[in-house]
Amino acid sequence: MIKKILLAVSGLGHAEEMLKTLREIPSIESAKVTILHVVQAQNTAATMTTKWENGGKILANAIQTLNLDPSQVSSILREGDPKDVVCQVADEIDADLIVMGSRGLKRLQSILSNSVSQYVFQLSSRPMLLVKDDIYVKRIKRIMVAIDNSDSAKNCLKLALFLLRDIQGGELILANVATDLGGKKSEITEVSSDKNPVLAAAVAEAKSQGVQSRCYISSGKPGEEICRLAEELNIDLLLLGSPDRRPSIAKSFVDIDRLIGSSLSDYVRVNATCPVLLARTIA
């Protein structure tokens, strides 16, 4: 399910640390990795030469840090606008997963500062794993899926089970949030799946693949509740589906409404205290 990973590096090391942790997961330890660094155009040839040299060093350091089998890793140094180049290379190699660092900027800040990770998620339909600068990357054992009856949530469930199936002691946390836009929060409650059809189907699927699972429910504003659950349950990796509702003609353009509007995935991307894997599903 994940055979090709695109790792976009900036030299800060956060994305590299995330990939090292991912590579400990048996189901993707044999995945091929392409490491990408993008050099933006400069005003002078001398400055451009320096940027190319620094870019080469960033790639070399990333390769050394990851310590991968040479047959499983390749590197690309390319000039251009990072957000465009990341999407282009992901398409070129047919990446199953994009891994990037993120500054965790809010929506308007993302637009004004030309946030690469935010724009890549808007422009790409590929799963994308974001790791913010201010979080600690832990060994992955507890994966949480925000579960409901949507296709995007079901897609996340499949991906979570793919990751967990060979992790010794791994645990799937299924979180079902009842929406209360008034912001009234309930207690986080562990429940049996018996009386909840959505949870019951997910638990049955997990059991069929030999994955241990636990179910939790709460109510409140969905984005806030998902982040609260992830923090209080000490989650190592959060999976969240994000349907792409744009018409086909607009797939190559940034979804401005999502950038400046109320987007669940955007809220979680900014506020979650663990790495977030966003899986876009075409609606």
Tokens of 41: 């155009």
What tokens appear for 34 in the block? 């392409």
Distance CA 218, CA 278 (A): 21
Q: What are phi and psi of 86, to 5 degrees?
A: -60, -45
Assess whether 117 and 68 both reside in one domain: yes
The last residue of a domain, from among 91, 109, 132: 132
CATH of the domain at 111: 3.40.50.620
Is 257 part of a structural domain of the chain?
yes
Residue 44 sits in the same domain as residue 121:
yes
Whether residues 105 and 151 fall in one domain: no
Number of domains in the chain: 2
* Structural domain boundaries enclosing 18: 4-132
Check: CB of residue 248 under 8 Å from CB of residue 206.
no
Percent share of the chain, pLDDT over 90: 50
Domain boundary, last residue among 132, 156, 191: 132
- Residue 137 domain flag: no
Q: How far apart are alpha carbons 128 and 28 in whole angstroms?
A: 15
The residue written with tokens 């809220």 in the block is 267
User: In terms of domains, do 184 and 109 share one?
Assistant: no
Are residues 166 and 83 located together in one domain of the fold?
A: no
Residue 117 lies in a domain: yes
Contact 162, 155 (CB under 8 A): no
pLDDT digit string, tens, across residues 159-205: 999 999 999 999 999 999 988 877 678 889 999 988 889 999 999 99
Cα(105)–Cα(108) distance, rounded to whole angstroms?
A: 8
107 — alpha (psi -120 to 50), left (phi > 0) or beta? alpha
Predicted local distance difference test score (pLDDT) of residue 48: 86
pLDDT tens-place string over residues 129-153: 988 877 888 999 999 999 998 888 9
- 128 is a domain residue: yes
Decide if 231 is inside a domain.
yes
Would residue 151 count as lying in a domain? yes
Using alpha carbons, list the distances in angstroms from residue 174 to 15, 177, 278: 26, 10, 16
Nearest-CA neighbor of 42 among 70, 7, 80, 93? 80
Pull the structure tokens for residue 211: 């994955």
> 124 and 146 share a domain?
no
Q: How far is CA 95 from CA 91, 117, 143, in A?
A: 7, 16, 22
Q: Decide if 164 is inside a domain.
A: yes
User: Do residues 119 and 188 both lie within one domain?
Assistant: no
> Is residue 118 domain-shared with residue 31, that is, in the same domain?
yes
Inter-axis angle of helices 151-164 and 197-208, to 10 degrees? 30
In this prediction the pTM is 0.86
* Alpha-carbon torsion, ordered 108, 110, 111, 117, to 10 deg: -150
What is the radius of gyration, based on Cα positions, of the chain? 19
107 and 156 share one domain = no
pLDDT in tens, 66-117: 888 888 899 999 999 888 999 999 999 999 999 998 754 444 444 333 467 7
Question: pLDDT for 238-282, tens place per residue?
Answer: 999 876 544 444 445 554 444 444 578 878 888 899 999 998 765
Q: Does residue 153 share a domain with residue 271?
A: yes
CA distance 245 to 112: 24
Asked whether the predicted pLDDT for residue 233 surpasses 90, the reply is yes
Among 132, 156, 183, where does a domain finish? 132
User: Positive or negative CA dihedral for 246, 40, 105, 3?
Assistant: positive
Please tell me whether residues 159 and 128 are part of one structural domain. Answer: no
94: in domain:
yes
